[in-house]
Amino acid sequence: MKTSLLFRLGLLAVVLSCSTTLASAQVSVYTEDAKQPGIGYWSVETNQLQRDYSVVRFYTAQHEKIYEERLEGLCLDLSKGTAACRRTARMLSDGVVRVQQARNNSLVANGLGLFRRAQRTYAAM
């Protein structure tokens, strides 16, 4: 009886230690809306186990991904709420607006054909 209880406790300890190891290896995701409503939002993913890179993604208000960048050697942990975290979040929110404006400008330019030189035709007088 006593060995069965010890076996169960040992098995429980192994399961709990594995679950905390697996939980710490998960990817943390932080998201925040841009300052201007209707523009979009950003998200940051960081591998908490290795902490060797972060992935920043910008989305439209319709949840379409418009830009993604992997930042090697940089671990962004915005969950602390310090002044540096708030500054980084503010910079990312400004980045959403800039990326959205650049995307809109390039779509207009592509639609109008401004990236190729227009041929001029002159009427004979």
Which residue ranges make up each domain of the chain? Answer: 25-111
In this prediction, residue 12 carries a pLDDT of 67
Most confident option among 46-55, 63-72, 91-100: 63-72
Return the closest-CA partner of residue 58 out of 31, 98, 30, 96. Answer: 96
Distance CA 69, CA 98 (A): 15
In this prediction, residue 113 carries a pLDDT of 58
pLDDT at 41 over 80: yes
pTM for this entry: 0.60
The percentage of residues in the chain with a pLDDT greater than 90, rounded to a whole number, is: 10
Burial zone of 104 (CB within 10 Å; 0-12 exposed, 13-18 middle, 19+ buried): exposed
